[in-house]
């Protein structure tokens, strides 16, 4: 559009761009390797990540080799339909999950933990991510993708160069060879797809004076910062920004690049204020130390509840907290929609452990189990007419004693009602 139909275009934002002069097919594996190595180096230079996940790169590729030799089955679900499957997971597929995770600012922090947990036989995170990939497939058009690839990219690429480039990255070659795109077989496919060939000008750099904002994420595995800089070089009125610690489409991934895009749209003639990017960094998901917790006050004004919650845990809602490593969930609230008995049954409550009176409330405490999800925990209920108050904690089965002593009991002991609290 900037080259062929510039009339009427006031300004342009290029967020994670493929410049037409690059060889997208040949350079794909180079881009993935650069992003993956940059990610691994980011962990290596972060003392907390390095301590929690030492020798991450070695473990990653040992795991890829082990899964290629002995694939496993993991549960995968289509989150739109609810249909569940048992899917094979080999090393190339696992590496693909890691690479696809580089796209997402939300998933990037958990990659090291996912690698370590998978190596230990815990496939819960990789199963969840494969479920997301399966679900998102409904919103992608393979036909459109291959039409563009075969029409605009393949005619200006070369199968021998692609093969030579793949040979330079033996650790990644298996993943690429298992894909239809970005490998020598792409060209044979494109001959059959018959999408035609773009004009030669479509492989040349775009030159324009239209005010343009060019954005790139440091860890983008498909449209790397080098490509965005290349695109900006031939756009005389461009502003280029690279954002650390995130991958694809920064403006959709973080408030800082989003605010920069908004400022540019407000006035494309001036460079937008971008100092917020200086504070951006990748904060890795780390194992939670449940033996050294501090607590902060927590309230649920709607139900006049006062208690405490572990400091640093994520407050999804006033009554719902998740540990930073996402392994433990804590809820304290009032249930006005179910009977107490139905609620206990739904959580797989066992025999009552004890009864206690705490801050004027009578509590019954039960162990709970959810074997389908490999979690267990504890549930305390306190009747209140036709409703009841409850405190619930769930986590991995091997954490039960620690959760009961270090989290569940302190939260329950602090649970009280404040009639002065405004809902």
69 lies in the same domain as 123: yes
Using one digit for the tens of pLDDT, what is the confidence trace for 259-273? 999 999 999 999 999
Percent of the chain clearing pLDDT 90 (strictly above): 81
Report the pLDDT averaged over residues 5-20: 96
Q: Is residue 91 domain-resident?
A: yes
Q: Is residue 133 domain-resident?
A: yes
| Bridge pairing between strands 305-310 and 295-300 | antiparallel
Nearest-angstrom CA–CA distance, 142 and 285: 33
Whole-angstrom CA distances from 306 to 178, 300, 380 are 54, 7, 15
257 lies in the same domain as 310: no
| Bridge pairing between strands 12-15 and 212-217 | parallel
370 lies in the same domain as 331: yes
- The pLDDT score that the predictor gives to residue 335 is 96
Name the pTM for this structure.
0.79
Half-sphere exposure of 19 (CA within 13 A, CB side): 22
The residue from 279, 303, 327 where one domain ends is 279
Q: Is residue 351 domain-resident?
A: yes
The count of domains in the chain is 3
Cross-strand partners of 77: 84
DSSP structural state of residue 208: B
Q: Is residue 36 domain-resident?
A: no
Report the pLDDT averaged over residues 16-45: 96
Q: Is residue 339 domain-resident?
A: yes
Domain encompassing residue 230: 12-16+204-279
269 lies in the same domain as 305: no
221 lies in the same domain as 314: no
- The pLDDT score that the predictor gives to residue 124 is 84
69 lies in the same domain as 96: yes
Q: Say which CATH number the domain at 312 has.
A: 3.40.1000.10
403 lies in the same domain as 341: yes
SS3 392: strand
311 lies in the same domain as 385: yes
Using alpha carbons only, give the angle 16, 44, 164 rounded to the nearest 5 degrees: 55
The residue from 252, 279, 306 where one domain ends is 279
pLDDT band per the 50, 70, 90 thresholds, residue 179: confident
Residue 194, burial from CB neighbour count under 10 angstroms (0-12, 13-18, 19+): exposed
Q: Is residue 116 domain-resident?
A: yes
Q: Which of the two residues, 383 and 327, has the higher pLDDT score?
A: 383
SS3 83: coil
Report the pLDDT averaged over residues 390-395: 95
Nearest-angstrom CA–CA distance, 332 and 319: 5
254 lies in the same domain as 315: no
Q: Is residue 94 domain-resident?
A: yes
132 lies in the same domain as 210: no
Indicate whether 155 pLDDT > 80: yes
The residue from 107, 139, 171 where one domain ends is 139
- Residue 406 sits at φ, ψ, to 5 deg, of -100, -15
Handedness of CA 248, 252, 256, 257 (dihedral sign): positive
360 lies in the same domain as 333: yes
Q: Is residue 29 domain-resident?
A: no
- Contact indicator for 121, 83 with CB cutoff of 8 Å: no
Question: Of 89, 96, 94, which Cα lies nearest the Cα of 29?
Answer: 96
313 lies in the same domain as 405: yes
Nearest-angstrom CA–CA distance, 160 and 166: 10
Using one digit for the tens of pLDDT, what is the confidence trace for 196-223? 999 999 999 999 999 999 999 999 999 9
Average the pLDDT over each of 23-32, 120-129, 146-155, 296-305 and give the range with the smallest value. Answer: 120-129
Using alpha carbons only, give the angle 296, 302, 308 rounded to the nearest 5 degrees: 15
Read out DSSP for 315-367? EEETTEEE-TTS--EEEEEEE-SS-HHHHHHHTTB-S--EEEEETTEEEEEEE
Report the pLDDT averaged over residues 40-68: 97
């Amino acid at each position: 559009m900037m080259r062929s139909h510039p009339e009427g275009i006031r300004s342009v934002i290029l967020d994670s761009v493929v410049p037409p002069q690059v060889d997208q097919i040949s350079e794909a594996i180079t881009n993935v390797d650069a992003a993956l190595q940059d990610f691994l180096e980011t962990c290596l230079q972060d003392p907390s990540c390095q301590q929690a996940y030492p020798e991450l790169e070695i473990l990653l590729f040992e795991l890829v080799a082990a899964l290629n030799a002995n694939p496993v089955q993991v549960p995968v679900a289509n989150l739109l339909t609810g249909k569940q499957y048992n899917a094979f997971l080999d090393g190339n597929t696992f590496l693909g999950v890691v690479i696809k995770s580089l796209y997402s600012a939300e998933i990037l922090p958990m990659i090291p933990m996912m690698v370590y947990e998978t190596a230990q036989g815990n496939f819960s995170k990789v199963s969840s991510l494969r479920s997301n990939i399966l679900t998102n497939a409904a919103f992608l058009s393979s036909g459109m993708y291959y039409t563009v690839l075969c029409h605009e990219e393949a005619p200006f690429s070369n199968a021998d160069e692609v093969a030579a480039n793949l040979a330079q990255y033996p650790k990644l070659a298996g993943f690429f060879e298992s894909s239809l795109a970005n490998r020598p077989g792409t060209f044979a496919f494109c001959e059959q797809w018959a999408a035609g060939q773009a004009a030669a000008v479509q492989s040349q750099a775009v030159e324009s004076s239209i005010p343009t904002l060019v954005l790139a994420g440091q860890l983008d595995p498909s449209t790397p910062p080098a490509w965005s800089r290349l695109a900006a070089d031939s756009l005389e009125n461009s502003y280029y920004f690279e954002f650390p610690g995130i991958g694809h489409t920064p403006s959709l991934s973080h408030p800082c690049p989003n605010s920069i895009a908004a400022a540019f749209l407000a006035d494309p003639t001036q460079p937008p204020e971008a100092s917020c990017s200086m504070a951006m960094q990748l904060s890795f998901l780390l194992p939670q130390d449940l033996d050294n917790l501090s607590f902060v006050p927590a309230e649920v004004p709607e139900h006049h509840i006062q208690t405490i919650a572990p400091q640093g845990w994520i407050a999804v809602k006033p009554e719902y907290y998740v540990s930073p490593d996402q392994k433990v969930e804590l809820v304290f609230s009032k249930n006005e929609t179910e009977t107490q008995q139905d609620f206990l049954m739904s959580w797989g409550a066992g025999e009552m452990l004890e009864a206690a009176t705490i801050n004027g409330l009578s509590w019954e405490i039960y162990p709970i189990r959810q074997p389908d999800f490999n979690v267990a925990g504890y549930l305390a209920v306190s009747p209140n007419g036709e409703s009841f108050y409850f405190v619930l904690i769930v986590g991995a089965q091997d954490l039960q004693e620690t959760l009961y002593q270090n989290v569940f009991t302190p939260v329950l002991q602090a649970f009280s009602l404040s009639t002065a609290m405004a809902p």
